[in-house]
């Protein structure tokens, strides 16, 4: 029907409503709709309904557990730095410095929710790649960043375990027998731990139980993590699978204690990183990165120099109470993060780890150093050195080690690390190195200009370090450094040889007519430490002088005689007594370092070749970076 348009006439709607009535009706309808929709959000538990209306927030398993609280990047800073180090971008926040990287844009979950242990284990199981292929896209149980494991392996110059074809100067059978013996010791150490203390941090072989300690913030299984790569290397396959299964099922990161930044880094992060690079198993990469994130609040200080202790629950940090004035950071602790943190960035695509340690490096590069020496304590608040105590042993040691190893790990592109290492070594030689009346070369400790003519067992790693660094020194110094390395290692051997047990004391002195011996009972203990055999291993690889294998074998014999107990290995309280008094602890570094270095000493040079790998200070092998981006400024390492 055609309706004629008559001026002044307003047609009625099909329902017979006029325009004002229609307007009122629509207003009523829209009000009703708003009321109903809003009511959904007022229901006591509306989460299910919300799911229909709100976009889900995806949370890749494996990124949980970043604490929120004081000191956490998502929370307000505890201390507001005048010139703060770049704050850690929280998972989910874009790191401005890495916007150019398309990989970063894949995104991190914004607010991680804690995952329960079972979920974590499931995620870990489903993420284990079983051979390390390339994960193209984030999936359940994986990280939102892929690492090309096959490409990495193809860049290695040697098979990881070597070719085992080349001969050595000794009859093969003797070397093999000795290597097998060391393998048996590892098997015994592992099985004892498994039997009496599986999942605890350390085995107590006398009481046949486990020990948790308070260094790791509530984390468990330090021995498992520290043993993974040694088991792999020795081809203890069943034991390796046991260790891996424990990590998948039982290594939980939702812990809430106070942890040592240094110890967690060198043992847990180092152990997990190595296990990943050796096997390509995703579970190790994922857990290393998650744990690395938990350490970041330690860096929330005015200077960016981290404090030694981080609280996993609150995200706060503090210095060790026993340090000078209770407020110092320790050179060997904050100076021994570089290798692992660069690898965390490499494997996660998250640059925050690398930025943290590069900042430390820059800070140390610029700061005034007394006579070119680095004191052991610094204030993370003012950035000033505290006391002038310098040591290549405890408190200082691995800082120097990480300089030369950063250079090597960067495929010799990190010239800053190289320069700092040789400058530091020159200062050490000028002010600390001495020769005793009996002709023994040692590195003394320096206290504001006065020397303590003492060397700690820990300082005995320096023979190996100086040997390792000798090859890249200025040409006219290479032979000198090789000789210095050999002399220091010889001195450390003397400290073993002059004891009744042929094991070395915790510290030994050069005064009052005594040389290379401890002068008091409190320094006469041996706790299964690795530093002396570590130097034997490097010196062997450099010189192939059979004396180093002989000295290494002396240690094996002594360990068997004095440290082996019915239920594992234990330290002894007095190396000068041939009746051993055991200390009831099988240290994790005995499996990570001492036995690994001994095994390598009796292996071919291409097993974990030094062309491909550097060892962190807990002897966990980390690969030299030869990725395409290395050396073009784009590489992380």
- Using CB under 6 A as the criterion, which residues of the chain lie in contact with ligand DMJ when the complex forms? 398, 458, 529-530, 589, 593, 617-618
By beta-carbon proximity to ligand DMJ, the closer residue of 104 and 389 is 389
Q: Which residues of 66-105 are buried (b: 16+ CB within 10 A; e: fewer)?
A: bbeebbbbbbeebeeeeebbebbbbbbeebeebeeeeebe
Reading the block at residue 486, the tokens are 């050999």
Q: What torsion do the CA atoms of 609, 615, 621, 625 make, to the nearest 10 degrees?
A: -70
How far is it, in rounded angstroms, from Cα 565 to Cα 558?
Answer: 13
Q: Active site residue: 239, 282, 401, 506, which one?
A: 506
User: How far apart are CB 477 and ligand DMJ at their closest, in Å?
Assistant: 26
How far is it, in rounded angstroms, from Cα 376 to Cα 394?
Answer: 9
> Which residue's Cβ lies closest to ligand DMJ?
617
Residue 552: CB partners within 8 Å, gap ≥ 6? 533, 536, 537, 540, 598, 601, 602
How far is it, in rounded angstroms, from Cα 154 to Cα 157?
Answer: 8
User: How far apart are CB 591 and ligand DMJ at their closest, in Å?
Assistant: 11
Q: Tell me which DSSP letter residue 626 carries.
A: -
Reading the block at residue 78, the tokens are 């505890």
- Is residue 143 within 8 A of residue 126, CB to CB? The reply is no
- Say whether 263 is catalytic: no
User: How far apart are CB 617 and ligand DMJ at their closest, in Å?
Assistant: 4
By beta-carbon proximity to ligand DMJ, the closer residue of 263 and 604 is 263
Strand (E) or helix (H) holding 25: helix 19-40
- Is residue 378 within 8 A of residue 366, CB to CB? The reply is no
Give a three-class secondary structure readout of 485-500: HHHHHHHHHHHHHCCC
User: How far apart are CB 457 and ligand DMJ at their closest, in Å?
Assistant: 7
- Tell the burial category of 343 from Cβ atoms under 10 Å away from its Cβ (0-12, 13-18, 19+): buried
How far is it, in rounded angstroms, from Cα 104 to Cα 138?
Answer: 12
By beta-carbon proximity to ligand DMJ, the closer residue of 152 and 615 is 615
User: How far apart are CB 401 and ligand DMJ at their closest, in Å?
Assistant: 8
Reading the block at residue 198, the tokens are 């599986």
Give a three-class secondary structure readout of 93-107: CCCHHHCCCCCHHHC
By beta-carbon proximity to ligand DMJ, the closer residue of 88 and 492 is 492
Residue 479: count of CB within 10 angstroms of its CB = 11
User: How far apart are CB 213 and ligand DMJ at their closest, in Å?
Assistant: 13
By beta-carbon proximity to ligand DMJ, the closer residue of 259 and 411 is 259
Which 3 state secondary structure label does DSSP give 614?
A: strand
Query: Cα dist. 286→65, 211, 276, 280 in Å?
Result: 13, 26, 9, 11
DSSP 178-202: HHHHHHHHHHHHHHHHHHHHTTSSE
User: How far apart are CB 586 and ligand DMJ at their closest, in Å?
Assistant: 13
By beta-carbon proximity to ligand DMJ, the closer residue of 263 and 612 is 263
How far is it, in rounded angstroms, from Cα 293 to Cα 281?
Answer: 20
By beta-carbon proximity to ligand DMJ, the closer residue of 63 and 622 is 622
Residue 376: CB partners within 8 Å, gap ≥ 6? 330, 331, 332, 387, 389, 390, 391, 395, 396
Reading the block at residue 113, the tokens are 């929710």
Reading the block at residue 238, the tokens are 């069943």
By beta-carbon proximity to ligand DMJ, the closer residue of 328 and 398 is 398
Reading the block at residue 241, the tokens are 């699978």
User: How far apart are CB 398 and ligand DMJ at their closest, in Å?
Assistant: 4
> Which segments of 432-545 does DSSP mark as H helices, in order?
462-470, 475-497, 531-543
User: How far apart are CB 400 and ligand DMJ at their closest, in Å?
Assistant: 11
By beta-carbon proximity to ligand DMJ, the closer residue of 462 and 617 is 617
User: How far apart are CB 589 and ligand DMJ at their closest, in Å?
Assistant: 4
| Length of the chain counted residue by residue | 637
User: How far apart are CB 236 and ligand DMJ at their closest, in Å?
Assistant: 22
How far is it, in rounded angstroms, from Cα 41 to Cα 462?
Answer: 65
**Beta strands 389-390 and 377-378, pairing class:** unpaired
Site of tokens 């790791």: 216
**Active-site positions?**
506
């Amino acid at each position: 029907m055609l309706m004629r348009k008559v001026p002044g006439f307003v047609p009625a709607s099909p329902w017979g409503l006029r325009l004002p009535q229609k307007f009122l009706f629509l207003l009523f309808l829209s009000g009703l709709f708003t009321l109903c929709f809003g009511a959904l959000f007022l229901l006591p538990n509306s989460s299910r309904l919300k799911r229909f209306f709100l976009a889900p927030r995806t949370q890749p398993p494996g990124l949980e557990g970043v604490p929120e609280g004081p000191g956490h990047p998502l929370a307000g800073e505890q201390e507001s730095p005048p010139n703060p180090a770049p704050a850690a971008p929280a998972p989910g926040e874009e790191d401005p410095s890495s916007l150019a990287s398309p990989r970063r844009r894949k995104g991190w979950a914004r607010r991680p929710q804690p995952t329960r242990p079972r979920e974590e284990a499931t995620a870990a199981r489903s993420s284990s790649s079983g051979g390390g292929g390339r994960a193209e896209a984030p999936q359940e149980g994986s990280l939102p960043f892929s690492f090309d494991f096959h490409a990495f392996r193809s860049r290695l110059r040697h098979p990881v375990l070597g070719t085992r074809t080349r001969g050595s100067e000794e009859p093969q059978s003797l070397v093999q027998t000795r290597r097998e013996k060391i393998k048996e010791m590892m098997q015994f150490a592992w099985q004892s731990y498994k039997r009496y203390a599986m999942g605890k941090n350390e085995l107590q072989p006398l009481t046949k139980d486990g020990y948790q300690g308070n260094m790791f913030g509530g984390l468990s299984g330090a021995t498992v993590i520290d043993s993974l790569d040694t088991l792999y290397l020795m081809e203890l396959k069943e034991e390796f699978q046991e260790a891996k299964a424990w990590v998948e099922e039982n290594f939980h990161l939702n812990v809430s204690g106070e942890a040592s930044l240094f110890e967690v880094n060198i043992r847990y992060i180092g152990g997990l990183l190595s296990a990943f690079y050796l096997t390509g198993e995703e579970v190790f990469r994922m857990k290393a990165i998650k744990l690395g994130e938990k350490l970041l609040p330690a860096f929330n200080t005015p200077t960016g120099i981290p404090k030694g202790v981080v609280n996993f629950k609150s995200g706060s940090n503090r210095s060790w109470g026993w340090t000078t004035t209770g407020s110092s950071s320790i050179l060997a602790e904050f100076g021994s993060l570089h290798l692992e943190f660069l690898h965390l960035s490499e494997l996660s695509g998250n640059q925050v780890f690398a930025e943290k340690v590069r900042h430390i490096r820059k800070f140390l590069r610029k700061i005034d150093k007394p006579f070119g020496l680095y004191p052991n304590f610094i204030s993370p608040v003012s950035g000033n050195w505290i006391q002038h105590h310098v040591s290549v042993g405890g408190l200082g040691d691995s800082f120097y080690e990480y300089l030369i190893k950063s250079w090597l790990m960067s495929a010799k592109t990190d010239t800053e690390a190289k320069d700092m290492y040789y400058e530091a070594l020159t200062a050490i030689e000028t002010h600390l190195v001495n020769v005793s009346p009996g002709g023994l070369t040692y590195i003394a400790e320096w206290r504001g200009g006065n020397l303590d003519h003492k060397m700690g067992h820990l300082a005995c790693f320096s023979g190996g370090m100086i040997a390792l660094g000798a090859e890249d020194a200025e040409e006219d110094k290479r032979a000198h450094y090789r000789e210095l390395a050999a002399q220091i290692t010889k001195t450390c051997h003397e400290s073993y040889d002059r004891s009744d047990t042929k094991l070395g004391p915790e510290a030994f002195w050069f005064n009052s007519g005594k040389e290379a011996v401890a002068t008091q009972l409190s320094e006469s203990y041996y706790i299964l430490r690795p530093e002396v055999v570590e130097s034997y291993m490097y010196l062997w690889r450099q010189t192939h002088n059979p004396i180093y294998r002989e000295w290494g074998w002396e240690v094996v014999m002594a360990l068997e005689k004095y440290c082996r107990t019915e239920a594992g290995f234990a330290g002894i309280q007095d190396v000068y007594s041939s009746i051993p008094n055991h200390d009831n602890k099988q240290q994790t570094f005995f499996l990570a370092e001492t036995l690994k270095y001994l095994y390598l000493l009796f292996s071919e040079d291409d097993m974990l070749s030094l062309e491909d790998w550097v060892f962190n200070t807990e002897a966990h092998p980390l690969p030299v970076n030869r990725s395409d981006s290395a050396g073009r400024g784009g590489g992380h390492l």
